[in-house]
Structure 1
Amino acid sequence: MPQSLKSIRELADDWLALDQNENTRKQITDLLAAGNVAELDRRLRTRIQFGTAGLRAKLEAGFSRMNELTVLQASQGLSVYVAGAVPDALKRGIVIGYDHRHESAEFARLTACAFLHKGFVVHFLDKLVHTPLVPFAVDRLHAACGVMVTASHNPASANGYKVYWSNGCQIVKPRDKGIAAAIDDNLEPWIWDKTLVDKSPLVNRPLTEIADQYYAQLAVLAGDTKINSMMRFMYTPMHGVGGPYAERAAALLGAVPDKNMFVVPEQAEPDPDFPTVEFPNPEEKGALKLAMASSDKIDISLVVANDPDADRFSAAVKGADGKWMQLTGNELGILFAYFLFSTMDTTKFELSKLAMLNSTASSQILRSFAETEGFYYEETLTGFKWLGNRAIELEAQGYNVVFAFEEAIGYMFPGIHDKDGIGAMMMFLKLLRWIEDTVSGTKMTRAQGIIIVLEQIYKKYGYFENKNSYYVALDPRVTDSVFNYIRTKSDGAAAAEPSGNNEYRYPSRVGTRQVTYWRDLTLGYDSSTPDHVPVLPVSKSSEMITFALDSAVRVTIRGSGTEPKLKVYIEAKSTVSREASRQIADEVWDDLEREWFRPGETGLLRP
């Protein structure tokens, strides 16, 4: 019988027949005893969905949650799928890593258990690792796949299960569907033994070797650059696993702990409860407040930060006026791109084969940069699963992909096909040394130097200003209704579906601004292509619209795949100043909120 038609008692019995964890079994039996039908229904009625982001959910008992049973089921299905899809998969094996979150180590051991039972070699990274080390290890060990147990920057109550394919990239469609089907076919636990990883001859523990190779790759990026011996900076791993990795990376540039590199003491050690931050994400407003305060106490003017699994990077600098300026993801992205291009010997390769990428939600200044200088640029869908896989495809075509980024503080450098917050931190310190040597001089503050370089970039390639934020949508139906409202808000524009279905029509204007371009990657429509079919992949299961206004504003609206959010990215371009661009972006935000999003009326909540 389908799960949707079963009674609560039947669903609970199904759970209790499979679960072998005493804690999660008790959660369900306690809810039964209390007659809490609503909560049981929330936890048991639907299954946690496996997608291109793997799994991510709250840590609780139930088919819709992250727990030992759902992790074991996912691992069984994944092992079956990989064994059938990757040549020599069992011999090549799986890389498994985990971070410090609640249950991460146990989930990693159960993942190993399923793959060992299937006959796979298991490359078990047996200490806390940062996420980028798993795809790096998959690539270096030529493994069939990899799993990293982490929920990245999500709240303490969550955990997740991120899957990497044999090319060292996160999975993309349609592999997620194939894996999900294999999971559904293998729900009965084969074996439940978290100690199997300690006694199986199929297990090896290559962490030391892989870490050495990883830092050797970072050393290539560092080159012979050394930081100014007087530089001091404050680092925060945000209660995560990044500390020892960041220290070793900074040492490649000559940074010495407690002389150049200082660590926020309250956030230095891994803590799965994240006690000093509401959201353990350095991108969130206020997340770096403690790091800034710690810097103020000892007269430090630079903060660098990773998220808890250290695949994202952020930075803030203090100006001569004593005020802190946190750089946005797009500002960091274009600074990295400009720095890399400016320090290359472009006489040694064909410029048209140099490539940089970013996601469709990120700043278009990289496109303008590429068009002006003559190197290759491409945008992808949001997420490094798309950026990494596309980079591999371009490299196979002879391109030298030196950089990729997205505005959500994710940066990819050569040697790994995923975002890497540790590598980004090291490259940012290298960037600052370059600014000291070429721009700012000894009498300027670090903030002034960065502002000068940004102004050089904007003056040459255009003043791009972003206003990016989100609305909270606790019920997915709210997000669906908002997108449906946008598509059916007909005001005389052309139909937005190439099949000829006239039910959906895109708006012709927002406020006083004319819509000049429209792309709907949910329905599969692009107004700029001859057949109106998008170049980027279409997915009916995820909501995403991009449009332009008066050819000077670009807006992307999408539903988050991992959080209860409707995300909005607005970018305005001006030839005059950042202030002019910022004013345009603010006006468009206000128009969209009034005309389309209508918080309160629609159920969307302001953050």
Structure 2
Amino acid sequence: MTWQATYKKWNDYQSLDKDLKQQLVGMANSDKELEDAFYKELTFGTGGMRGILGPGTNRLNIYTIRKAVEGLANYLEANVNDCYSRGVAVAYDCRYMSKEFAVETAKVLGAHGIKTYVFESLRPTPVLSFAVRYLHAAAGIMITASHNPPEYNGFKVYNEDGGQLPLQEAAEVIAKVQKVGNELTVPVKEQQEVEQDDLLTWVGEKVDQAYLRQLKTISKLDLAEIKQKDPLKIVFTPLHGTSHDMVLNGLQQLGFNDIHVVAEQAEPDPEFSTVASPNPEEHQAFTMAIEQGKERNADILIGADPDADRLGVAVQDGDGSYQVLTGNQLGTLMLDFVLSHSTPEQITNGRLIKTIVTTEMGRAIAAHYGVETIDTLTGFKFIGEKIKQFESTKEHFLFGYEESYGYLIGDFVRDKDAVQAAMIACEMASYWKAKGKTLLEAINQLYEQHGYFFEDMTSITLKGKDGAEKIGEIMTNVRENPFTEIGGLKVEQIEDYQIQERTLLESGNKEEINLPVENVVKYLLENNSWVCLRPSGTEPKIKCYYGVSSNYRKQSKTMLENLKQEMEHRISVIVE
């Protein structure tokens, strides 16, 4: 169907939701706006879907949610034993329409006779992952758009292991979703009916308490070490999201009591009104926390994104100011802390799991402790999938992380977990404080020991249909006109994950890459440096990652800047 025909189908539908109908009326005179809303169906990808709220097949609304749930229900009926009684766990964050979408999920599943466990109020994403395992549910759904702008929401699907769907399962669910006919006429039961029929159960405190009990198990310090002579001073911001209660309860049960919450950012707010972006990757998100950290002379500032799967940290830099650690720095520090506080028995056959765009410093530190590193594609679902595989091998999980502020310590959750990360970050800061060091001094000590591994990333936003086409042009150009040198560094290997092939430039030999297909190109350069280009799977962005290493800080900084300048210039030429 043309977008005009699809728009007409919606506009003529007599039972269309009143709010969506009113928005359609407001769009009636803008062909560009209507085309973008109806020219395609909102992509249900390997992690679910994320999109702008509003009417249309390319928007997130009750009808596109119903279609996604209908496809998932059909998949569960065909593939998961006892899915009707085991049910589906559903959680949601603070965004517009989040709770409404959770209820719509229960209404569609109820029409299939599948039970739904819905949290009575907002919860972090990692608690949803935990709940799937704790309730022995057949699947899980998280309604969230993570740190996207306020106009977005999303729908993430988890399997019975509590991890995001691996590629094969995702492909099967996507196929079921695509087979659903008219999204406007998906059968639903009313909320009152599913509640009366015991097909909708509201859950909360019991799951929370079970999660908090598990949280204690990742602790690496005893109470006496935490309650030292000069206890750690913490400033915490939930950035208007879901992490407030869990992080406070988790820290307090470990023995941390000097915690100041940024009051202006403590309450859930779908507009995220005090920040330009509720993303701890972006330093502006810490502006208020830094102000209050200075007032209180805090040792560490911690901030979680709205659905509490990413954690950022800022620490004192010695002159009363605060520096936000990069995701790679924080992950490296936590990895070293976890491994240095693990017994030889715990480390034996233990594994670090990281993504292909995460710092290589992690590999160096893991090797120092005799731990093997496993690389995955970008996305925590691949880390969760590896943890599941360990159940049938002699390997066991020690730590997982990605450069975009995602970390996991305890495998009772199978997705990145900002609550766990907050616990370990504060224990780590307390440990180093007792030794008279800040976390900045600790990371510098690791640089001196293992080498100056520096990383950065360029992110270009290209929205809409035109933007998607431009991102495609960039990837095509890079493949058809490959670099032989970048920033003065010779290219030694080119990895193209779309064809699962590694090319060794000097010999011309080719090797198979034993990872799933993905639209990613990575250049491996001399001196253990690298550049990687990948379109985002969840946002209208193309990202270029850079990594360098040397024995000297100044040398690594220069190498990194040269890589960035050359890649940004080439991308800008293509975009223009």
Number of positions where the alignment pairs a residue of Structure 1 with one of Structure 2? 562
Amino acid aligned to 2:264: E
Task: Find out whether 1:420 has 2:412 as its counterpart.
Answer: no
**Aligned match for 1:365, one of 361, 366, 388:** 361
Deviation of the 1:125 alpha carbon: 1.3
Matched with 1:603 is 575
Matched with 1:385 is 381
**Aligned match for 1:460, one of 408, 431, 449:** 449
Q: Deviations over 1:499-543 (max 9, x none)?
A: xxxxxxx3322243211011011233212697522111113xxx2
**Aligned match for 1:286, one of 284, 287, 290:** 284
Amino acid aligned to 1:177: A
Task: Find out whether 1:586 has 2:561 as its counterpart.
Answer: yes
Matched with 1:307 is 305
Shift in alpha-carbon separation, 1:395–1:574, aligned structure 2, 3 A: farther
Matched with 2:240 is 239
Amino acid aligned to 1:534: I
Matched with 1:534 is 513
Q: Identify which range, 314-323 or 420-429, moves more after superposition.
A: 314-323
Alignment partners' CA distance in 2, 1:196 and 1:530: 64
**Aligned match for 1:485, one of 477, 482, 488:** 477
Deviation of the 1:18 alpha carbon: 7.9
Shift in alpha-carbon separation, 1:583–1:512, aligned structure 2, 3 A: closer
Matched with 2:133 is 139
Deviation of the 1:219 alpha carbon: 1.1
Amino acid aligned to 2:287: K
Residue identity over aligned pairs, in percent, reads: 28
Task: Find out whether 1:128 has 2:122 as its counterpart.
Answer: yes
Shift in alpha-carbon separation, 1:7–1:546, aligned structure 2, 3 A: closer
Amino acid aligned to 1:558: R
Considering Cα pairs closer than 8 Å and 6+ residues apart, tell me whether 1 or 2 has the greater RCO.
Answer: 2
Q: Identify which range, 186-195 or 416-425, moves more after superposition.
A: 186-195
Task: Find out whether 1:84 has 2:84 as its counterpart.
Answer: no
Amino acid aligned to 1:303: L
Alignment partners' CA distance in 2, 1:267 and 1:580: 40
TM-score with structure 1 setting the length: 0.89
* 1:344 aligned counterpart, secondary structure: coil
Matched with 2:352 is 356
Q: Identify which range, 148-157 or 471-480, moves more after superposition.
A: 471-480
* 1:167 aligned counterpart, secondary structure: coil
Contact 1:314 1:409 in 2 (8 A): yes
How is 1:428-443 mapped onto 2 (pairs within 5 angstroms)? Answer: 428-437=425-434, 439-440=435-436
Amino acid aligned to 1:335: L
Shift in alpha-carbon separation, 1:16–1:56, aligned structure 2, 3 A: farther
Contact 2:357 2:545 in 1 (8 A): yes
Alignment partners' CA distance in 2, 1:192 and 1:73: 14
Matched with 1:252 is 253
Deviation of the 1:483 alpha carbon: 1.4
Deviation of the 1:171 alpha carbon: 0.8
Alignment partners' CA distance in 2, 1:285 and 1:469: 15
Contact 2:195 2:201 in 1 (8 A): no
Deviation of the 1:105 alpha carbon: 0.4
TM-score with structure 2 setting the length: 0.93
Amino acid aligned to 1:216: R
Structure 1 stretches of at least 4 aligned residues deviating more than 6 Å after TM superposition: none
Alignment partners' CA distance in 2, 1:15 and 1:193: 24
* 1:132 aligned counterpart, secondary structure: helix
Alignment partners' CA distance in 2, 1:263 and 1:369: 33
Structure 1 spans left out of the alignment, 5+ residues: 441-447, 490-505
Matched with 1:476 is 468
Structure 2 spans left out of the alignment, 5+ residues: none
Shift in alpha-carbon separation, 1:449–1:294, aligned structure 2, 3 A: closer
Q: Deviations over 1:9-51 (max 9, x none)?
A: 553224643863111122224433x3x2222111112100101
Contact 1:19 1:25 in 2 (8 A): no
RMSD: 1.9
Alignment partners' CA distance in 2, 1:538 and 1:564: 20
Deviation of the 1:200 alpha carbon: 2.9
Task: Find out whether 1:17 has 2:13 as its counterpart.
Answer: yes
Contact 2:300 2:429 in 1 (8 A): no
